[in-house]
Structure 1
Amino acid sequence: MGLERSGTALLVLATLVVAASILAGGDVGRALNAFGGIGWFLAAGMLVSAAVRSSRQYMTWAAVIGLTAVVAFVVRPSDLILAAVGFGSAGIVVGTLAQNRELLWVTLVPALYLPFHIGTAVLKATVRSLMGTEPGIRSDPPPTAAIVPIVMVVAALAGGYAAMSIKAHRSDPDEGRFSPTSPHRRA
């Protein structure tokens, strides 16, 4: 649990540093962005290491990798609504598939977002260049992007909590209903 907690804390800190970098702009913003990016990559490494050590959940790994690739390709750093919907949905799917430690698995989606996002940006620029169009990699994010990184993490975790709640309800179909044989019945 040490890597999981430390990785999650570092991911949250990295998203806040990235937000500060966007708000600061200029040279200070670029310096903060470098620190935030390094922290984000370190957090991703810690969380991947914790997940590898936790168990062999191949379907969950496939969902994490596939859904992270989708959100990295679709969610722009300035699109708050799409980030909330995309990462929330990914959190529900991954949390449902995870057999244990659901919050670790759902946190991997936003943790891996930055490496995947950079990879898809390079891929898109390469394809545009090969097609003879302008590559168009943006170096300075728009100011609206300041809140999106933390929204990604919060939405994924909210999706994970929703999945855990659904799974708990499915495992105890009598939860919330009065039953004379229920161990929780009122006397």
Structure 2
Amino acid sequence: MIQRTNDAEPNDGAAKTNVEKQIKRNEENMPNYITHVGFDKIQNEIENIQKLLKGDVAKKIGEARALGDLKENAEYHAMKDKQRLLATRMEELSQMLSGAEIIENLDLPAGKVTVGKKVYLRNLDKDRMDIYTILGPVESDVDNDIISYETPIARQLMMKEEGETVDVQVPIGTIRYKIEKIEPYDPADINQKSDDPLPF
């Protein structure tokens, strides 16, 4: 029976955000792997923000400024706040694409666990199938079993082959896995929504 599990990868939503992690990776010169789907999604959001900043937002700021008395001009200050929010969001998105390496452009070995692969693992202790998609940190989504190649479980599985048995160390102890199948990631598994809605 195929079943999702949270045994191996606890949800660390309270930890650093993807943006903060990407800044740290940039400083450490670590690879920033991302799928073409994720890259295009982020790039499109950046372009939409740029259009808003140059178009509607700039226009409304100009109209509010024309009303005079900027100190007491609530509409002007509200639009400036929205302008700052959009600019901050655009900077966050730009950090996510900094030094990006498109997974589909990599020469990945077939039949081995690498970034960009969907891995079917039989948990030999509980006789169930755990399925993980291994991508870059920007697209990791533990709730949907998409994990970063930097996570402990992914690192311990790297370059292993179908049929191998692997003892994976996790916070709760050791999980014995047999690698049943390895295949390229499925773009349909990636959440197509932006992490955060535009603040305007």
TM-score for both structures, normalised by structure 2: 0.25
Structure having the higher helix fraction is 1
Rg larger for: 2
Structure having the higher strand fraction is 2
TM-score for both structures, normalised by structure 1: 0.26
